[in-house]
C-alpha cells in the first residue's frame, strides 16, 4: 500500500508533557516516524508519497470548533506577545462548577481548549499539526480513488483531540477529519477502529451523537489508565448515535489471547454495521516494550491485527496514532500493514 507523510511533522519537536506531577520531555518524538519509514523501506511496503499542501483548517473545521482551530493558529503569536518563546503548558482548566467561558489571555485560552498538560506547543507545532491533516486527507484521497488501503504516517497523533480540546499529544483529530472526508465524498457509513492502547476520547466525543460513524475502541481500562474520564462499556452513544459507540476496555497485562479475542469481537460489530470505509487509529503502544503502557502484545502479534482487519473486506485507511517504543515501532506498524496486505 502507499504511504502518505509530510516531513513537516519534524517541526513539532523538543516539546514537553505533564504526567503524574512531573514535567518531562514528551515521549511523542519525530524519531517515531523515522523508524517507521526505515522499516517501510526495508520491507518495500510501498511508495512513500509526500503529502500535498491543502487547507487543513477547512478540512478540520468539519469536526472541530472554529474558535479552537483559530486559537491553535494564533497560539505562537500570542505566546511571543507575552514575551515568551520557550515551552508551553496549560495550568488551569474550567472544571465542574466553573463557567464555560472563553478567556482572552493566552494562559486562560490554553486551559479552555485543553483537557490535560499533554499537548504543548513549540514554534513549529501548528505547521506540523496541519501537515498531519495533509497526510490523512492525502491517504484518504488514495482510497477515494479506488485503492484498497493507504497509510497516513502522521504526527502529532489525533485521537485524544476533541471538537474543541487538545490533550495527550493531540491537536487535530486526523482520523476524525479523514472519516468526515469520506462521508463528504460519497460514503454513507464509516467505522473508526481505534487499536491504540489509550481510549480515543476525542474521537468518541466528536461522533458520540452520530449514527453515520461507528466508533469501536480497544484500550486499557480507564478506571485505572489515562485518559480516565471516558472509555467505559456503558458509553454506547447518544441520540442518533445510540448503539454506534463500542468500548472494549482490558486490564493491565493483557496479551494477545485476550486482545486478539477483543479484536475479533470488534470486527464482528463492524461487520454488523457494514461501513463503506474503515479508518484504523493505529497505535502501537499495546506493545510489551512500550515505555508508557501496560499491555503485552509481541512483535509477532501485529501482523495478526492487520490480517483480521483485512478480513473485514472494506477499504481501509490506517492513520498513525501512538506507540513510544521507538526502536520497535517500525516493526510493529509495518507488521500490521504487512499482515493486512498478506491476507
Ligand atoms: C497518546 B496516545 C500514563 C501517561 C499518560 C499521556 C499519554 C498520551 C497518549 N502513564 N500520558 O494515545 O498514544
Ligand atoms: Zn496511546
Is 151 within 8 Å of 139 (Cβ atoms)? yes
Q: Residue 181 Cα, ligand 2 centroid: separation in angstroms? A: 23
User: What is the distance between the alpha carbons of residues 192 and 170, in angstroms, rounded to a whole number?
Assistant: 17
pLDDT tens digits, 280-289? 999 999 999 9
Q: Residue 322 Cα, ligand 2 centroid: separation in angstroms? A: 4
Q: Quick check: CB of 283 below 6 Å from ligand 1? A: yes
Pocket test for ligand 1, best of 12, 25, 169, 290 (most atoms within 8 A of CB): 169
Is 169 within 8 Å of 322 (Cβ atoms)? yes
- 314 three-state secondary structure: coil
Which residue has the least CA distance to atom 2 on ligand 1? 322
Q: Which ligand is nearest to the CA of 294?
A: 1
Maximum C-alpha span of the chain:
55
| DSSP calls for 77-102 | HHHHHTT--S---------TTS----
Q: Which atom of ligand 1 is nearest to the CA of 116?
A: 6
This model of the complex carries an ipTM of 0.95
User: What is the distance between the alpha carbons of residues 294 and 284, in angstroms, rounded to a whole number?
Assistant: 12
Q: Which domains does the chain have, with CATH numbers?
A: 2-16+27-64+123-342 (3.40.800.20)
- Nearest CA to 64 out of 207, 243, 214 is that of 207
How high is the mean pLDDT of the chain? 98
Q: Which ligand is nearest to the CA of 32?
A: 1
Residue 210: predicted pLDDT: 98
Q: Quick check: CB of 19 below 6 Å from ligand 1? A: yes
Which residue has the least CA distance to atom 8 on ligand 1? 168
Q: Quick check: CB of 241 below 6 Å from ligand 1? A: no
Residue 253: predicted pLDDT: 98
Q: Residue 135 Cα, ligand 2 centroid: separation in angstroms? A: 19
Q: Quick check: CB of 18 below 6 Å from ligand 1? A: no
Residue 343: predicted pLDDT: 65
- Nearest CA to 163 out of 68, 280, 57 is that of 68
Task: State pTM to two decimals.
Answer: 0.98
Pocket test for ligand 1, best of 292, 319, 324 (most atoms within 8 A of CB): 292
Asked about 160 being catalytic, the answer comes back as yes
Which residue has the least CA distance to atom 7 on ligand 1? 168
The CA-based dihedral angle spanning residues 29, 35, 38, 39, taken in that order and rounded to the nearest 10 degrees: -140
Residue 87: predicted pLDDT: 87
Q: Residue 163 Cα, ligand 1 centroid: separation in angstroms? A: 19
Q: Give residue for cell 460519497.
A: 186
Here the contacts of 79-88 (C-beta below 8 Å, separation 24 or greater) are 79/106, 79/121, 81/106, 82/106, 85/123, 87/15, 87/16, 87/120, 87/122, 88/120, 88/121, 88/122
3-state DSSP: the chain helix, strand, coil percent, rounded to 5?
40, 15, 45
Which element (helix H / strand E) includes 37?
helix 31-43
Q: Residue 283 Cα, ligand 2 centroid: separation in angstroms? A: 6
Residue 86: predicted pLDDT: 87
Active-site residue, selected from the candidate residues 9, 12, 159, 160: 160
Count Cβ atoms within 10 A of the Cβ of residue 255 and give its class: 0-12 exposed, 13-18 middle, 19 or more buried.
middle
Q: Quick check: CB of 117 below 6 Å from ligand 1? A: no
Q: Residue 170 Cα, ligand 1 centroid: separation in angstroms? A: 10
Going residue by residue through the chain, which has 343 residues, state the pLDDT in tens, using 9 for 90 and above.
999 999 999 999 999 999 999 999 999 999 999 999 999 999 999 999 999 999 999 999 999 999 999 999 999 999 999 999 988 999 999 999 999 999 999 999 999 999 999 999 999 999 999 999 999 999 999 999 999 999 999 999 999 999 999 999 999 999 999 999 999 999 999 999 999 999 999 999 999 999 999 999 999 999 999 999 999 999 999 999 999 999 999 999 999 999 999 999 999 999 999 999 999 999 999 999 999 999 999 999 999 999 999 999 999 999 999 999 889 999 999 999 999 999 6
Amino acid at each position: 500500500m502507499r504511504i502518505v507523510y509530510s516531513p513537516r511533522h519534524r517541526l513539532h519537536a523538543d516539546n514537553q508533557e505533564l504526567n503524574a506531577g512531573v514535567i518531562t520531555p514528551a515521549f511523542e518524538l519525530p524519531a517515531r516516524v523515522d523508524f517507521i519509514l526505515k522499516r517501510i523501506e526495508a520491507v518495500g511496503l510501498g511508495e512513500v508519497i509526500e503529502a500535498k499542501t491543502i487547507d487543513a483548517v477547512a478540512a478540520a473545521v468539519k469536526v472541530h470548533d472554529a474558535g479552537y482551530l483559530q486559537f491553535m493558529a494564533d497560539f505562537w503569536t500570542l505566546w511571543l506577545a507575552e514575551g515568551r518563546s520557550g515551552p508551553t503548558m496549560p495550568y488551569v482548566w474550567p472544571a465542574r462548577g466553573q463557567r464555560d467561558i472563553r478567556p482572552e489571555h493566552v494562559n486562560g485560552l490554553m486551559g479552555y481548549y485543553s483537557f490535560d498538560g499533554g499537548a504543548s506547543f513549540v514554534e513549529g507545532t501548528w505547521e506540523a499539526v496541519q501537515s498531519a491533516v495533509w497526510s490523512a486527507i492525502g491517504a484518504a484521497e488514495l482510497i477515494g480513488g479506488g485503492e484498497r488501503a493507504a497509510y497516513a504516517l502522521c504526527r502529532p497523533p489525533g485521537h485524544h483531540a476533541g471538537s474543541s480540546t487538545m490533550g495527550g499529544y493531540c491537536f487535530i483529530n486526523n482520523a476524525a477529519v479523514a472519516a468526515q472526508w469520506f462521508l463528504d465524498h460519497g460514503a454513507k457509513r464509516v467505522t473508526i477502529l481505534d487499536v491504540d492502547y489509550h481510549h480515543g476520547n476525542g474521537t468518541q466525543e466528536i461522533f458520540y451523537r452520530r449514527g453515520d460513524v461507528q466508533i469501536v475502541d480497544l484500550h486499557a481500562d480507564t478506571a485505572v489508565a489515562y485518559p480516565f474520564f471516558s472509555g467505559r462499556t456503558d458509553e454506547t452513544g447518544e441520540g442518533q448515535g445510540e448503539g454506534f459507540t463500542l468500548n472494549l476496555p482490558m486490564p493491565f497485562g493483557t496479551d494477545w489471547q485476550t486482545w486478539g479475542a477483543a479484536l475479533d469481537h470488534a470486527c464482528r460489530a463492524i461487520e454488523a454495521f457494514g461501513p463503506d470505509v474503515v479508518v484504523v487509529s493505529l497505535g502501537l503502544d499495546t506493545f510489551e516494550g512500550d515505555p508508557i503502557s501496560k499491555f503485552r502484545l509481541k512483535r509477532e502479534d501485529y501482523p495478526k491485527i492487520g490480517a483480521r482487519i483485512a478480513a473485514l473486506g472494506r477499504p481501509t485507511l490506517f492513520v498513525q496514532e501512538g506507540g513510544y517504543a521507538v526502536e520497535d515501532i517500525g516493526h510493529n506498524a509495518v507488521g500490521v500493514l504487512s499482515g493486512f496486505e498478506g491476507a
